[in-house]
Amino acid sequence: MTSKIIDRIRQSRRVPLFIDGAFVDSDTADWIELNNPATQEVIAQVPVATGQEMDRAIGSAKVAFKQWRDVPTVQRVRCLLRYQALLKEHQQEIATVLAEETGKTFADAMGDVWRGIEVVEHGCGMTTHMMGETAENVASNIDTHSYVHPIGVCAGITPFNFPAMIPLWMYPLAVACGNAFVLKPSEQDPLTPTMLAELFVEAGFPSGLLQVIHGDKRQVDAILDHPDIKAISFVGSVPVAQYVYRRGADNLKRVQAMAGAKNHMVVMPDADKERVVSALVGSSCGAAGQRCMAISVAVLVGESTRGWVSDIKTALAGIRPGAPGDENAAYGPLINRKSCDRVREIIAGAAGEGADVLLDGSDCVVEGYPDGNWVGPTLFDNVTTNMRVYQEEIFGPALCLMHVDTLEEAIDLINANPYGNGTSIFTKSGAAARKYQHDTEVGQVGINLPIPVPAPFFSFTGSKNSFFGDLHAYGKQAVRFYTETKTVLSRWPEDDVPDGPDMTINMA
């Protein structure tokens, strides 16, 4: 497939809005430059949607919802089945565009798209997820029924690091539940969501169910304040997540705000060293460390594990970043210059805080791409909790090593951390693993696997400062987030049964 909308963007050098089922050029005078992270080449200009365009998009969604909410769930699911088939058919084309605008390796981009497709597949079972409950004779001649209804126009505000997966966490489930949706993707990689919208149209969904608008904080505020938006899903940094949650809640909206993390992996002395080293390399540097489930801290338990530091260093030193077309690259560039400069600043200050900088990726160079946002694999040892490299989410290909004597110390360390997205333990002891999964105050726990992201029929359950809200993304909780429950009580006394010919309640 040649994407018509991507061809149009490459010719005009401008990204359109998607309003009322059509790609439209914005009337804005304010544009954001979209750069290739590996070359700094300008890919296109991204519009900052006007207030009128925002109102038009939300108004169109409101009109579409009033018709879509009464469409039988099974018919909604048929559209979603066509959509997931189209996403699978065009996965490679989407991944190619995704890799260009994010800098991800092609393999990583394919994974980004696929993890989103899995959520769409989960949504294809919405016919059973939308079932209510019933109880007969809760009191004399009184029956009770509960029904699940869509709530209205929902919105999603998504980050740059997974421009396919995270939008697909949101609007397919919301629409399958009977809602309409307004998506505000990251202005740093809007082409992928644009392709997703193009296939949404091809799948046969009615016009207006999905709107895609672009911009910055002004468009986010418009979503948070607009009275016709009933629920908001957000993924991003902790400060912005807190802002979105507070402002959305102040406007009496439902909000689920998924935020940043500082994920620890505990290594017990009985763990398989080769598996540990391999897991640490992939989970710390994969996607250039730009993911909220990255393992950024390894907690080595016991004296014997100190000897593993040299193995971890050797393995990390053996990988390198590269452009999306480089099949030997472990990961790509950081998303932009600002992010790259911040990571380099944190690395530069680590030694002064007392950390041992075993690998410094600040001066990384990739041949043929002198202007890329490159940071090489970076390793800090003897990190303590008062250091910036520990306290902040670095969001780069960097790993901190810490040392404790016991599992109890490791658990105390993790529970004292303000974040609670994910954690893991590598051990051969079932007792140690059980204690760890029970005692750690973290939303998602992995045992002998580094990144415990659940399958879509479970929910993504970050906690503490990694999540603000009550109902999490995808799984059963997402269905509850995008729906409302109506309960009906009915009484039909038997003495009201009509008498006379052909009016009997007895079966013939």
Query: Helix/strand/coil (H, E, C) string of 323-386?
Result: CCCCCCCCECCCCCHHHHHHHHHHHHHHHHHCCEEEECCCCCCCCCCCCCCCCCCEEEECCCCC
SS3 content of the chain, % helix, strand, coil (to 5): 40, 20, 35
145 and 138 in contact (C-beta within 8 Å)?
Answer: no
Q: What is the 3-state secondary structure (H, E, C) of 205-247?
A: CCCCCEEECCCCHHHHHHHHHCCCEEEEEEECCHHHHHHHHHH
Please enumerate in sequence order all residues whose Cβ is within 8 A of that of 40, keeping only pairs 6 or more positions apart, or say none.
Answer: 337, 371, 372
**How many whole angstroms separate alpha carbon 377 and alpha carbon 290?**
13
> Buried (b) or exposed (e) across 58-84, using 16+ Cβ within 10 A?
bbbbbebbeebbeeebeebbebbebbb
Q: Measured at the alpha carbon of residue 94, what is the angle toward residues 88 and 96, in degrees to the nearest 5? A: 125
Q: Taking the mean position of all CA atoms in its chain, how far away is CA 163?
A: 9
CA 75 to CA 209: how far, in whole Å?
Answer: 14
Structure tokens at 481: 């987030």
Residue 142 and residue 151: Cα distance in Å, rounded?
A: 27
Residues listed for the chain: 508
Catalytic, 292? Answer yes
> CB of 53 within 8 A of CB of 172?
no
Q: Would you give the DSSP letter of residue 495? A: G
Beta-carbon-side half-sphere exposure of residue 471 (alpha carbons within 13 Å): 18
Residue of 79, 154, 285, 292 marked active site: 292
> What is the spatial distance between Cα 51 and Cα 53, in angstroms, rounded to a whole number?
5
Cα separation, 267 vs 350, whole angstroms: 23
Beta bridge partners of 31: 47
Residues known to be catalytic: 292
